[in-house]
Structure 1
Amino acid sequence: MNASNPASLYADHVNVQRSRADEALARGGFDHLVAPSGTLHYQLFDDRDYPYVVNPQFKAWLPLTRNPGSWLVYTPGQKPKVIYLQPFDYWHVVPEAPSGDWVEHFDITVIRKAEEALQHLPKDAARCAILGEPQSTVGAFAPNNPPAVVNYLEYHRAYKTPYEIAMMRAATRIGVRAHRTAERLFRAGSSEFGIHLGYCQSAGQDANDLPYSNIIALNEHSAVLHYTDRDRVPPKQAHSFLIDAGASFHGYACDITRSYAHDSGSEFQAMIEATDAAQLKMCDQVRAGTDYKQIHLDAHLALAGILKDFGLINVTPEIAVETGVSSAFFPHGIGHGIGLQVHDVAGFAESDHGGTIPKPDGHPYLRLTRVLEPGMAVTIEPGIYFIDMLLDELKDKGFGPSVNWDRVAQFKPYGGIRIEDDVVCTEGAPANLTREGFAEAS
């Protein structure tokens, strides 16, 4: 395998997809795997489309993300087929003729109307595992999403091929470039909306291209975990900036979060640096055989240590974790799988037959509970926040004395801190795609 040759990596990737599909179909008792690319949906009581999002089961095979109405068909022992919709249409831009490294690996049939796909799909829909959303239906071909097939494919999707890692690296380079632009705009006094526009321009991607909605938060807005309102006017005084924003490349995502203090000599900057140092240690835990749940639990102890060091809690880190005090400052999970989807699938899968690995008691928002193995790609995103709702709950539950409220009041104008990297588990030391991307851009 030639790691410097994307075409070679892609050929190997398709072979992996074929091998996985062979086993999935055998388990489900089907003869064909069929994946529609997805369709356009009209908004209710309107003639406007919702933004199109490609079916992940389709783009797992193909670097096509803007081709509604197309189909992938795979029959074991045969070359996979793409039914490629290229309509006659003067209202919209029509997909270009099929081209690129992927073309030679598929038998391609171009159709002009969506219903023409029926002529090229397998004869018996009942013998097909059809993976997609209900709207992607043509004739008798309606998605059935058989659990035996879906469970197998989604479980193994956690193990990224070298091609997929290369695509995620490419997405990271775009995201890093845009993050650097966003920081410069923050330093220059831009509004949240202005930073968002600058990010999109630098990435060369708009809201429909990005893998998720940009979180661009100044000051206390950083305490809202999924803040997407984006004020049009900058605050009178900028204290802090939290940006959680990614980028896409050939259907793969990066997910990067950084936090900044306006005053580089402030205590808040020191807290960012302490969180960053702790986060790097957590990233180093992304190793084969490590239970991801343990990284999450260890993160609580590390972050509680930072809270103690900065005088925000009056109890030991161990007691803060045991009593749930740490969860008021760090209420979300340490991360999730990432790849074709920013929150990639099968995070709780017990095996490729199904089943669920439960979350640790008291940690309902963790998105991944599997033991890490080589090829898995995950995010590591610890945070410390000053959220009124959660802090008030501590008082209501009788844990008010555990917190130094004067210190909390000093940090509340900053909102919070989150630092997030995308990390790949390997046979040895983890590969931190995000840190590599920032180092490469230096």
Structure 2
Amino acid sequence: MRTQTIATHYADHLQVLQQRAAEALRRCQRDHLVIPSGTLHLRAFDDLDYPYAVNPQFKAWLPLTNAPGSWLGITPGQRPRLIFLQPHDYWHTVPREPDGYWAEQFDITIIRTPEDALAQLPPDASRCAILGEPQSALGEFTPDNPPAAVAYLEYQRAFKTPYEIAMMAAANRTAARGHRAAERAFRAGSSEFGIHLAYCQATGQDANDLPYGNIIALNQHAAILHYMTQDRLPPKPLHSFLIDAGADHGGYAADVTRTYSAHEDDFAALITAVDAAQQALAARVRPGLDYRQLHLDAHLALAGVLHEAGVLRVGAEEAVARGVSRAFFPHGLGHGIGLQVHDVAGFAASAEGGTIAKPDGHPFLRLTRTLQPGMTVTIEPGIYFIDMLLDELKAAGNADAVDWNRVDAFKPCGGIRIEDDVVCTDGAPINLTREAFAEA
């Protein structure tokens, strides 16, 4: 049923992309949109390739994530063309010939060498808007990424079609399976590396498939926001576990974080309080809401949690006004998500470009736009006990706002982050992550 839902929505998704492509071409005064899938290229001073990553502009059109050397040709009023590289090669796995629900929507030409694409592309490269990285250049077809076209397409990408939402829902279901397996491994006493392997096994995805590197943090490692070292031995004693790990489905990402305590203790109660605050923030995702305001409100909510837990001696409003909350919640509330984990145009003022500024004192917020139906965002508040930031808090004259004995009690646990992927609709939001966990 879910595959049928994705397939049913795909034709409408393609029609939306055709309309966007026509407008992008009008804005840059070109006739054709040409999109390379991206290529493999060698590491410096080495004979091994960097891991392949498909061009996001390419995978917006079709769920092909392993098709290096292929091209898309889009001309308004015509069926889109896929020029698919399927080389004669016995050294490597050759990409399978395109099939499935999406393939019937394309005119597909199979080529055997990258250079064969030249005969299939439009005759005049100067009339093409070519979207890609420099390494994809082929003959006269050098990616030029016309700013007017790119700004328009990236701005519109924030508005997800039903097909895209279904793809992200599937990615979240995969991630939820991984998170359940990771929690079981944590409860069984596994190391960070062991938990990572359990996650990859449950999702059926590894480093080259996952949308980002897994953050698997035990104890104080959870205070390192992008911790990726993965110790091979579990710590003793074991206090806590933070996992920030996603999944991919046909090029669309899930981005999910959970935190667990090893015991029924004050840290477990703090996790419960952060989770409640996170769900309240996610429930506020509505059309017309300025995401910057939701971020600022998250500081009030988390400061309230810290005050109730006895960490802060001052009330939430005073803690925010004095900048105390930023020492415990130093990152942004979230970001757009879709074809990329941190989806593009998070600061875009309009389809013509421009930037919506971040709130003063909040340099790490990745989304400043006003929410509208179709936008899909992460909601990921967190509380951390980071020595560097706590030292800065003391140096700024705010030591009196904190009960340092409570801080010392929580430090061995590192920190807490709870993250869901949430769709803005005309009414109540759809929490893709909570739905996936309920199924899992």
| TM bucket, shorter chain | over 0.9
In the alignment, the residues of structure 2 paired with residue 32 and residue 19 of structure 1 have an alpha-carbon distance, to the nearest angstrom, of: 13
Task: For residue 135 of structure 1, give the secondary structure of its aligned residue in structure 2.
Answer: helix
In the alignment, the residues of structure 1 paired with residue 376 and residue 49 of structure 2 have an alpha-carbon distance, to the nearest angstrom, of: 33
Q: Match for residue 85 of structure 2?
A: 85
Q: Match for residue 48 of structure 1?
A: 48
Q: TM-score, normalised by structure 2?
A: 0.99
1:7-32 alpha-carbon deviations (Å, 9 max, x no partner): 22111111111011011110110100
In the alignment, the residues of structure 1 paired with residue 423 and residue 60 of structure 2 have an alpha-carbon distance, to the nearest angstrom, of: 18
Task: For residue 44 of structure 1, give the secondary structure of its aligned residue in structure 2.
Answer: coil
Q: Match for residue 281 of structure 2?
A: 282
Q: Match for residue 62 of structure 1?
A: 62
In the alignment, the residues of structure 1 paired with residue 97 and residue 321 of structure 2 have an alpha-carbon distance, to the nearest angstrom, of: 59
What does residue range 105-116 of structure 1 map to in structure 2 within 5 Å?
105-116=105-116
Residues 1:330 and 2:329 aligned together? yes
In the alignment, the residues of structure 1 paired with residue 318 and residue 47 of structure 2 have an alpha-carbon distance, to the nearest angstrom, of: 57
Q: Is the 8 A contact 1:320 1:326 kept in 2?
A: yes
Q: Match for residue 426 of structure 1?
A: 425
In the alignment, the residues of structure 2 paired with residue 69 and residue 413 of structure 1 have an alpha-carbon distance, to the nearest angstrom, of: 49
What does residue range 224-239 of structure 1 map to in structure 2 within 5 Å?
224-239=224-239
Q: How much identity, in percent, do the aligned residues show?
A: 68
Q: Is the 8 A contact 2:5 2:166 kept in 1?
A: no
What does residue range 270-419 of structure 1 map to in structure 2 within 5 Å?
270-419=269-418
AA of the residue aligned to 1:149? A
Q: What are structure 2's unaligned runs of at least 5 residues?
A: none
Q: Match for residue 197 of structure 2?
A: 197
Cα displacement (A) at 1:331: 0.2
Q: Is the 8 A contact 1:191 1:231 kept in 2?
A: yes
In the alignment, the residues of structure 1 paired with residue 168 and residue 288 of structure 2 have an alpha-carbon distance, to the nearest angstrom, of: 23
Q: Match for residue 248 of structure 1?
A: 248
Inter-CA distance 114–380: structure 2 relative to 1 (3 Å threshold): same
Task: For residue 57 of structure 1, give the secondary structure of its aligned residue in structure 2.
Answer: helix
Task: For residue 66 of structure 1, give the secondary structure of its aligned residue in structure 2.
Answer: coil
Q: Match for residue 126 of structure 1?
A: 126
AA of the residue aligned to 2:226? H
Q: Is the 8 A contact 1:3 1:162 kept in 2?
A: no
1:190-230 alpha-carbon deviations (Å, 9 max, x no partner): 00000000100110001110000000000000000000000
The count of corresponding residues between Structure 1 and Structure 2 is 439
In the alignment, the residues of structure 1 paired with residue 171 and residue 315 of structure 2 have an alpha-carbon distance, to the nearest angstrom, of: 41
Cα displacement (A) at 1:4: 5.2
Q: What are structure 1's unaligned runs of at least 5 residues?
A: none
Task: For residue 241 of structure 1, give the secondary structure of its aligned residue in structure 2.
Answer: strand
In the alignment, the residues of structure 1 paired with residue 321 and residue 50 of structure 2 have an alpha-carbon distance, to the nearest angstrom, of: 45
Q: Is the 8 A contact 1:337 1:378 kept in 2?
A: yes
Cα displacement (A) at 1:6: 2.4
Q: Is the 8 A contact 2:191 2:234 kept in 1?
A: yes
Task: For residue 335 of structure 1, give the secondary structure of its aligned residue in structure 2.
Answer: coil
Q: Is the 8 A contact 1:217 1:241 kept in 2?
A: yes
In the alignment, the residues of structure 2 paired with residue 73 and residue 144 of structure 1 have an alpha-carbon distance, to the nearest angstrom, of: 15
AA of the residue aligned to 2:137? T
AA of the residue aligned to 2:316? P
Residues 1:170 and 2:163 aligned together? no
Q: Match for residue 22 of structure 2?
A: 22
Q: Is the 8 A contact 1:3 1:9 kept in 2?
A: no
In the alignment, the residues of structure 1 paired with residue 395 and residue 4 of structure 2 have an alpha-carbon distance, to the nearest angstrom, of: 58
In the alignment, the residues of structure 2 paired with residue 127 and residue 404 of structure 1 have an alpha-carbon distance, to the nearest angstrom, of: 65
Q: Is the 8 A contact 1:381 1:420 kept in 2?
A: yes
AA of the residue aligned to 1:103? A
Q: Is the 8 A contact 2:125 2:140 kept in 1?
A: yes
Cα displacement (A) at 1:397: 1.3
Q: Is the 8 A contact 2:346 2:367 kept in 1?
A: yes
In the alignment, the residues of structure 1 paired with residue 323 and residue 268 of structure 2 have an alpha-carbon distance, to the nearest angstrom, of: 26
In the alignment, the residues of structure 1 paired with residue 408 and residue 245 of structure 2 have an alpha-carbon distance, to the nearest angstrom, of: 28
In the alignment, the residues of structure 1 paired with residue 233 and residue 384 of structure 2 have an alpha-carbon distance, to the nearest angstrom, of: 23
Q: Is the 8 A contact 2:6 2:167 kept in 1?
A: no
In the alignment, the residues of structure 2 paired with residue 3 and residue 223 of structure 1 have an alpha-carbon distance, to the nearest angstrom, of: 39
Task: For residue 184 of structure 1, give the secondary structure of its aligned residue in structure 2.
Answer: helix
Q: Match for residue 180 of structure 2?
A: 180
In the alignment, the residues of structure 2 paired with residue 6 and residue 275 of structure 1 have an alpha-carbon distance, to the nearest angstrom, of: 34
Task: For residue 207 of structure 1, give the secondary structure of its aligned residue in structure 2.
Answer: coil
In the alignment, the residues of structure 2 paired with residue 164 and residue 243 of structure 1 have an alpha-carbon distance, to the nearest angstrom, of: 25
In the alignment, the residues of structure 2 paired with residue 33 and residue 325 of structure 1 have an alpha-carbon distance, to the nearest angstrom, of: 49
Cα displacement (A) at 1:115: 1.0
Task: For residue 5 of structure 1, give the secondary structure of its aligned residue in structure 2.
Answer: helix
Q: Match for residue 33 of structure 1?
A: 33
In the alignment, the residues of structure 2 paired with residue 235 and residue 323 of structure 1 have an alpha-carbon distance, to the nearest angstrom, of: 36
Cα displacement (A) at 1:3: 9.9
1:25-46 alpha-carbon deviations (Å, 9 max, x no partner): 1011010001100011211100
Cα displacement (A) at 1:319: 1.3
Task: For residue 67 of structure 2, give the secondary structure of its aligned residue in structure 1.
Answer: coil
In the alignment, the residues of structure 1 paired with residue 64 and residue 364 of structure 2 have an alpha-carbon distance, to the nearest angstrom, of: 32
Task: For residue 108 of structure 1, give the secondary structure of its aligned residue in structure 2.
Answer: strand
Task: For residue 225 of structure 1, give the secondary structure of its aligned residue in structure 2.
Answer: coil
In the alignment, the residues of structure 2 paired with residue 8 and residue 189 of structure 1 have an alpha-carbon distance, to the nearest angstrom, of: 44
Q: TM-score, normalised by structure 1?
A: 0.98
Cα displacement (A) at 1:387: 0.3
Task: For residue 225 of structure 2, give the secondary structure of its aligned residue in structure 1.
Answer: coil
In the alignment, the residues of structure 2 paired with residue 171 and residue 27 of structure 1 have an alpha-carbon distance, to the nearest angstrom, of: 34
Task: For residue 226 of structure 1, give the secondary structure of its aligned residue in structure 2.
Answer: coil
Q: Is the 8 A contact 2:248 2:254 kept in 1?
A: yes
Q: Is the 8 A contact 1:171 1:254 kept in 2?
A: yes
Task: For residue 154 of structure 2, give the secondary structure of its aligned residue in structure 1.
Answer: helix
Inter-CA distance 185–360: structure 2 relative to 1 (3 Å threshold): same
In the alignment, the residues of structure 1 paired with residue 283 and residue 236 of structure 2 have an alpha-carbon distance, to the nearest angstrom, of: 39
Cα displacement (A) at 1:5: 3.1
In the alignment, the residues of structure 2 paired with residue 260 and residue 217 of structure 1 have an alpha-carbon distance, to the nearest angstrom, of: 11
Task: For residue 305 of structure 2, give the secondary structure of its aligned residue in structure 1.
Answer: helix
1:111-137 alpha-carbon deviations (Å, 9 max, x no partner): 100011111111111111100101000
Cα displacement (A) at 1:323: 1.4
